[in-house]
Each structure stands twice: as structure tokens, then as C-alpha cells.
Amino acid sequence: MNKRLGFVGIVIESRQKSAHFVNDVLSEFGELIVARTGVPYKEKHCSVITLIVDATNDELGALTGKLGQIENVSVKSALSKV
């Protein structure tokens, strides 16, 4: 399977309850992550994380699937066509 460049957008709606679970998953899949940016939004008690990834469809599905199972976390992703 070919790896492709893509992104993952993660919104953590309750930083205190869910951020450590998200970080655990991101550490588990660290070899796929090319870049990571995190922005806390203190007024709304949430955070947004964007990832640039180099992954296969299956690898991206495993990563986003685990993230999507975490309470108070929303995930969207896409991979390049080539």
C-alpha cells in the first residue's frame, strides 16, 4: 500500500477530560505524524489540533478510528489522491 500525504483535524471539547487520551493515541501513531499544531481555546475550554500525516488509508483509518472513540473528541481527515 502506498503512503500518501494528508491531514487530520481534531477538536477536543473538554480539555481536562479528554486531552490526555488524545495525546496517548497520537504517541501510539507518532511514526505517521509529520507535523502537529495545537491551539487551546481557553474561553471555550477546548482545543484544536491539526496533524500533517504520511499514511496509508488503513493507517489513517486506525488513527482516526481510535481518536473518534474518545469522548468529547471530533475528528475529520483527508489524504492526497497521489
pLDDT by 10s per residue, the chain, length 82: 799 999 999 999 988 899 999 999 999 999 999 999 999 998 988 999 999 999 999 999 999 999 999 999 999 999 999 8
Q: Where are the domains of the chain?
A: 4-79
d(CA 65, CA 71): 12
Taking the model in full, what pTM does it have?
Answer: 0.93
| Contact criterion met (CB below 8 Å) for 51 and 10 | yes
Q: 72 in the Ramachandran plot: left (φ > 0), alpha (ψ -120 to 50) or beta?
A: left
For 4-79, CATH gives: 3.30.70.1150
